[in-house]
Amino acid sequence: MPRAPSLIPGDTGATAVAAWVVPTLAIVGAVCTAVLLGGTWAFLDSRIATEQAAVGALEARRAELMAQANVAEEDLRAYRATVRRATALRDLIAQHRAWAPFFQLIESRTLPSVRYESITADVSGNVTLPATAPSVRAAAEQLVAWQQASGVKGIELSGLASTTDELGVVRSTRFDLRFQADPSVFSVVPIRE
């Protein structure tokens, strides 16, 4: 007669398990564990290699873009400098002065016997003319000629020095002539576009 189930522990009426079942289950469990771990390992290993390749490609692209950005930054600096120079040049050209009226003033006021060694002038009208005349009288006449010029003020003669020969005859007189010319003499030339 079959036994009825019992609620008493240890009274299960269990039958004996064959001796080969436990080692077989252990081997099957170990094989399943090895397959699961080995499969996971292989999957992760291939995934890591793929991700490393993607990261390497992205880092190479980043380095390439950084190099391009550096080149663009250098170009931008050069373009900014060019724009600054072009703007300064444009402003300079817009303020270009014509010296023709100034030279006409000098020609109209200079005596034929007087020679200027150089001209120093600025657009504010400050003029210095180191000159040579044949005599002190010619230098004085040149001073008077400038004093009679319109648009000229503050006329000064300085550094008057005469050169004489062995007999004491004056051969030339050197002097510096300074004055303030009207700045309109240095007229602005309009730009033709």
State which amino acid sits at residue 173: T
The whole-number average pLDDT for the span 50-64 is 91
Q: Is the pLDDT of residue 191 over 60?
A: no
For strands 152-164 and 97-98, give the pairing. unpaired
Q: Which CATH superfamily is domain 97-188 in?
A: General secretion pathway protein M, EpsM (3.30.1360.100)
Split at pLDDT 50, 70, 90, the class of 69 is: very high
Which residues sit opposite 174 in a β-bridge?
132, 161
What DSSP string describes 44-61? HHHHHHHHHHHHHHHHHH
Tokens of 68: 């391009």
Q: pLDDT at residue 4 above 70?
A: no
Q: Is the pLDDT of residue 6 over 80?
A: no
Q: Are 187 and 175 in contact (CB under 8 A)?
A: no
In three-state secondary structure terms, 131 is strand
Contact 118, 179 (CB under 8 A): no
Please state, rounded to an integer, the average pLDDT across all residues of the chain: 84
- Residue 127 has which token pair? 């003029």
Match 């006329």 to its residue by tokens.
155
92-125 residue pLDDT tens: 777 666 777 888 888 999 999 999 999 988 877 8
Q: What is the pLDDT of residue 63?
A: 93
The confidence score (pLDDT) of residue 95 equals: 65
Residue 192 pLDDT greater than 80, yes or no: no
Query: How many distinct helices (H) and strands (E) make up the chain?
Result: 3, 7
pLDDT (tens digit per residue) in 164-179: 888 888 888 999 999 9
Band of residue 189 on the pLDDT scale cut at 50, 70, 90: low
Q: Which of 18-27, 112-121, 182-191 has the highest mean pLDDT?
A: 112-121
Q: Where are the domains of the chain?
A: 1-94, 97-188
Average pLDDT over residues 149-164: 87
